[in-house]
A and B are shown apart, each in its own frame.
Chain A
Amino acid sequence: MSLAVWRVLRRLGVSLITLLGAATLTFFALRLVPVDPAFAILGAGQQQVDISPEVLAVVRQEYHLDEPLIVQYLLYLGRLVRGDLGMSYVQEQPVGQLLAAQAGPTVALALAATLLAIVISLVGGVLTAGRRLPSWISSGLELVLASTPVFWLGFILMLVFAVWLRALPILDSGDLRSLVLPALTLALPAAALLLQVLRQSLDDALEQPFILSARARGLGSLAVTVRHALRHAAVPYLTMHGFSFGALLGGAAITETLFSRPGLGRLLVTSVASQDIPVVIGVVLVGTAVFILVNTLVDLSYGLVDPRVRETGRKEVVA
């Protein structure tokens, strides 16, 4: 028991250090921009903007730009720990408030997409694993879906379901129906990757001796897959979930822009366009923190789903 607790704590520690590293990287990246940091924060690194001395003075004070670099860095970290992401000088609001206002739609989109991807990949995996023809058809579809640009897939779905069939709204109208197309757009490429990994490991699992013994006891092939092979295939499948969640975050920026939905991704894109650097860094840090959290949870779940990991503490299970 205490070993398990120790393992969890250790994993959490690593995650915190990684998060600290990510924050540090963004801090120094801002200092790499070849202009005065105050100008860079105000977005004047790329375009010529007239900035009043008052605003410059405010930025200098907020970021303590007159102090030595190490002091600036520690003060920046101190602010982050308190959840203070700074001010948006374009929108004249605290970044934290802006993010909080946009988080809801993105969380809804990400949850819906994840749920869809899980359902599609699980059903597809169970139905096609160990069967030759369904496997071929499915892997062809997976190849196409994984190779399709997210925004183009969104176009096609829009064309088919909104323009030609008129079954669903194209743009965001606030109700649940307008969530279907964006969620599907995000979910399909993710589901394709998940399905590839799941079927591969289900196929491996179906060749294990314990499957033969389950068959010998008279279990049907579907029951064997669901009851015995699925658990065996869980670890690679979960790993892929952690990986594909990162693509989901990037995909949210594209999907929200494409479907004109509010959300963090759209905020990121518009802030890049208006050179609102504090907001850009805020979204990136929050997105990265969530990505780290998801991967930590994925790592910790290995022990729950696969007793062999619990015993050995190793992720790579030698069959």
Chain B
Amino acid sequence: MSGGVVAEAVAPRATVVRWRGWVRLAADIGTLLCALVLIVFVLAALWPQLLTGQDPLAADRALILSPPSPVHPLGTDEIGRDVLARIIYGARSSLVLGFGAVLISLVFGTVLGLVAGLSNRVISTITLRLTDIGAAFPELVLAILILALFGGGLATATIAIGIAGIPYYVRVVRGETLRVRNSTYIEASRSMGLSRPAVLGRHLLPNAVRPVVVIATIGLGGATLAGAALSFLGLGSPPPTPEWGSMLSNARNFLTLGWWAAVFPGLAITLFVISTTVLGRRLQARLEGRG
């Protein structure tokens, strides 16, 4: 604990305590804001009508690329559609993709990770080598390859990003499984006469999988980013479905004429990703017993 010694040598104790109080308060407010942002986005994905009266597909030819105004708070795009309405309705595609991809990575990654951590050496080695090969591809490049072979669209993009994310989960779950497997409480429950499946289901699984929840929360942002990137490249959901990435892709050609059509959808993505990251980190801190 040499860290404590240095810290005490540098700052008087009372100052440290006062700082900590403020830090905790700021962190709590930040977490609350992030949770709120996330709730708003989920609401937008479920009931977009609740948040806007505008039609995301209605093009007003008289108002092409008009700047933010009371009627169109975030302006209109290159064919006169309301940017705010498109962002709100676009939450559905982006969130479906993010949650769907994370779910795919999570389920397959956990199962393969448990297999690698619990089975005999041969099966474990094969699983790990396959994982290494999957991880050898840069994630976005692998997703693009899958889309090139099997066609674009929201469903394929979700599956592609989900598959590209599997190797990371396999490694984490395997590592956790090995750690838990060799821990004393597993040994204790075995020696108390608990059957193998009981030990697996009641003790090993919950403890090995817990860190994955954190990774999945943080990974939600990453998957959404990747999905938006694929849509930006024209490989995600087809037009005219409102989607954050494809909105940016369209606005690219009109950057000098209407910055709002490009700036606000990107802001929505960034806000969403920041929220999931912050909430994920808080969850992590909670699980590790700090904060």
Please list the residues of chain A having a beta carbon within 8 angstroms of any beta carbon in chain B.
Answer: 17-19, 21-22, 24-26, 29-30, 32-33, 40, 45-46, 132, 143-144, 146-152, 155-156, 158-159, 163, 170, 206-209, 211-212, 245-247, 249-251, 253-254, 257-258, 268-269, 271-273, 275, 277, 280-281, 283-284, 287-288, 291-292
7 tightest CB-CB pairs across the interface, nearest first? Answer: A250-B140, A152-B266, A21-B133, A207-B3, A246-B138, A147-B273, A249-B138
**In the complex, B148 has a CB within 8 A of chain A:** yes
Given A152-B269, A208-B2, the answer on whether A288 and B229 have CB atoms closer than 8 Å is no
Contacts of B273 in A (CB 8 A): 147-148
For this complex, 25 residue pairs linking A to B, each with C-beta atoms less than 8 Å apart, are: A18-B136, A21-B130, A21-B136, A29-B149, A45-B151, A144-B274, A147-B277, A149-B228, A149-B245, A149-B266, A149-B269, A158-B255, A159-B255, A163-B255, A206-B6, A209-B2, A247-B140, A254-B233, A257-B233, A258-B252, A280-B145, A280-B148, A281-B145, A284-B141, A288-B137
**In the complex, B232 has a CB within 8 A of chain A:** yes
**CB distance B136 to A19 under 8 Å?**
yes
Given A132-B19, A147-B221, the answer on whether A155 and B270 have CB atoms closer than 8 Å is no
Min CB distance, A239 to chain B, in Å? 13
**In the complex, B85 has a CB within 8 A of chain A:** no
**CB distance A151 to B255 under 8 Å?**
no
Given A143-B278, A206-B6, A212-B6, the answer on whether A250 and B132 have CB atoms closer than 8 Å is no
**In the complex, B216 has a CB within 8 A of chain A:** no
**CB distance A144 to B270 under 8 Å?**
yes
**In the complex, B157 has a CB within 8 A of chain A:** no
**CB distance A149 to B149 under 8 Å?**
no
Among B181-189, B205-213, B256-264, B283-291, the one that faces the other chain is B256-264
A206's nearest neighbour on chain B, judged by CB, is B6
Given A152-B248, A253-B140, the answer on whether A21 and B132 have CB atoms closer than 8 Å is yes
**CB distance A155 to B5 under 8 Å?**
no
**CB distance B2 to A250 under 8 Å?**
no
Partner of A155, one of B136, B152, B234, B248: B248
Question: Once the chains are docked, how many angstroms separate the CA of A283 from the CA of B140?
Answer: 13
Contacts of B102 in A (CB 8 A): none
Question: Once the chains are docked, how many angstroms separate the CA of A159 from the CA of B149?
Answer: 35
Partner of A254, one of B2, B133, B134, B229: B229
Contacts of A291 in B (CB 8 A): 136-138
- What does the 1/0 interface line of B226-260 toward A look like (CB < 8 Å)? 00110011110000000001001101100110010
Contacts of A269 in B (CB 8 A): 144, 233-234
**CB distance B266 to A148 under 8 Å?**
yes
Contacts of A17 in B (CB 8 A): 129
**In the complex, B47 has a CB within 8 A of chain A:** no
Question: Once the chains are docked, how many angstroms separate the CA of A163 from the CA of B263?
Answer: 14
Question: Once the chains are docked, how many angstroms separate the CA of A32 from the CA of B150?
Answer: 9
Contacts of A211 in B (CB 8 A): 6
Question: Once the chains are docked, how many angstroms separate the CA of A212 from the CA of B2?
Answer: 9
- Interface hub of A271, A272, A275, A291 (most chain B Cβ within 10 A): A272
- Interface hub of A18, A19, A149, A207 (most chain B Cβ within 10 A): A149
**CB distance B144 to A253 under 8 Å?**
yes
Given A29-B145, A254-B229, A269-B233, the answer on whether A247 and B138 have CB atoms closer than 8 Å is yes
**CB distance B274 to A250 under 8 Å?**
no
**CB distance B263 to A143 under 8 Å?**
no
**CB distance B233 to A253 under 8 Å?**
yes
**CB distance A275 to B148 under 8 Å?**
yes
Contacts of B232 in A (CB 8 A): 149, 151, 254, 257
**In the complex, B97 has a CB within 8 A of chain A:** no
Min CB distance, B221 to chain A, in Å? 6
Question: Once the chains are docked, how many angstroms separate the CA of A10 from the CA of B101?
Answer: 35
**CB distance A146 to B277 under 8 Å?**
yes
**CB distance A292 to B136 under 8 Å?**
yes
Question: Once the chains are docked, how many angstroms separate the CA of A47 from the CA of B129?
Answer: 35
Min CB distance, A289 to chain B, in Å? 9
- Interface hub of B2, B132, B140, B259 (most chain A Cβ within 10 A): B140
**CB distance B139 to A272 under 8 Å?**
no
- What does the 1/0 interface line of B164-192 toward A look like (CB < 8 Å)? 00000000000000000000000000000
**CB distance A147 to B274 under 8 Å?**
yes
**In the complex, B83 has a CB within 8 A of chain A:** no
**CB distance A155 to B266 under 8 Å?**
yes
**CB distance A207 to B2 under 8 Å?**
yes
**CB distance A25 to B133 under 8 Å?**
yes
Min CB distance, A206 to chain B, in Å? 7
A209's nearest neighbour on chain B, judged by CB, is B2
Partner of B138, one of A132, A146, A281, A288: A288
**CB distance B144 to A268 under 8 Å?**
yes
Question: Once the chains are docked, how many angstroms separate the CA of A147 from the CA of B271?
Answer: 8
Given A151-B229, A250-B229, the answer on whether A33 and B150 have CB atoms closer than 8 Å is yes
